[in-house]
Structure 1
Amino acid sequence: MTAANETREAYGHFLAIPTRWMDNDIYGHVNNVVYYSYFDTVINEYLIREGGFDIHAAEVIGVAVETMCKFRKSLAFPQTVDAGLRVGKLGNSSVRYEVGLFAAGDAEPAATGHFVHVFVERATMRPVAIPAALRSCMERLLVA
């Protein structure tokens, strides 16, 4: 049984990510380290498309300071993963993204987890406030 906050409906943004042949490990399912790549992909796709984030030239960048993943079901090539994204906590310089990975069409997640970014000045790596455009797009996914 999955808690209501972990169902597909609990996420405000989705990105379909096709699995690749190389994602599978010797046991015939997507290797655990690849799940974190899916987390990174849905988060950064959202920041680029919805927040106008320039990954190459932005003076302020997000660095990962914490990640966590709970594995519930196996995923395998050639499945498509629907990566759901929401924001669980939004601070001045940090954000906690919450991610649900679903097999296409599945209501219950194959994995859930979180990813914390602290925003820093690229040149000094010192924490700074989240830029307004990024904060705005994050607020749209903020859950109560």
Structure 2
Amino acid sequence: MTEPVPATRADYPQFLTIPTRWMDNDIYGHVNNVVYYSYFDTVINDYLIRAGGLDIHDGQVIGVCAESACQYKAAFAFPEAVEAGLKVAHLGKRSVRYEIALFKQGRDEAAATGSFVHVFVERATMKAVPIPDGLRAALEKLQA
């Protein structure tokens, strides 16, 4: 069986640098596995707010996480910056599947890779709705 090709920086059109925090480290001296999911959430929502106009406080439509996964290849530790790469692997009518890679500064091969699915819902009813035009346009720019 052949190994999958490792994710590299060239695979991702959008990046955000996220500093690790003292509280991210666990007793073993590295960033705890659950924190990687917060990095995923951060790079995604930063992009949606800045590029797509997502209004997290008063918007009628919000994205909710339906699924997420992470594959760990190398550990991060405080103090270290995480360079998070983001792309869209699938853009549907009401949902989007992102692929994320976390890189150590100056490294080309990902230290962790993952996926995250957002379903867009009406905030008041939590019923799935079509992705709003502004968000869709921003997401289209990240399609693989």
Q: Count matched residues.
A: 142
- TM-score (structure 1 length as normaliser): 0.96
- TM-score (structure 2 length as normaliser): 0.96
**1:17 match:** 18
Identity within the alignment, %: 63
**1:125 match:** 126
Q: Provide structure 2 residue ranges, at least 5 long, that are not aligned to the other structure.
A: none
Cα distance in 2 between the residues matched to 1:63 and 1:116: 8
String of CA shifts for 1:73-124, please: whole Å, max 9, x gaps: 0111111000000000000000001100001111111100000000011111
Q: Give the secondary-structure state (helix, strand or coil) at the position aligned to 2:66.
A: strand
**2:37 match:** 36
The residue identity in structure 1 corresponding to 2:26 is: D
**2:27 match:** 26
Q: Provide structure 1 residue ranges, at least 5 long, that are not aligned to the other structure.
A: none
* TM-aligned CA distance change 1:103 to 1:67, over 3 Å: same
Q: Give the secondary-structure state (helix, strand or coil) at the position aligned to 1:54.
A: coil
Displaced runs of 4 or more, over 6 A: none
**2:100 match:** 99
**2:75 match:** 74
Shift of residue 3, structure 1, vs aligned partner: 1.5
Shift of residue 67, structure 1, vs aligned partner: 0.3
Q: Give the secondary-structure state (helix, strand or coil) at the position aligned to 1:108.
A: coil
Q: Give the secondary-structure state (helix, strand or coil) at the position aligned to 1:9.
A: helix
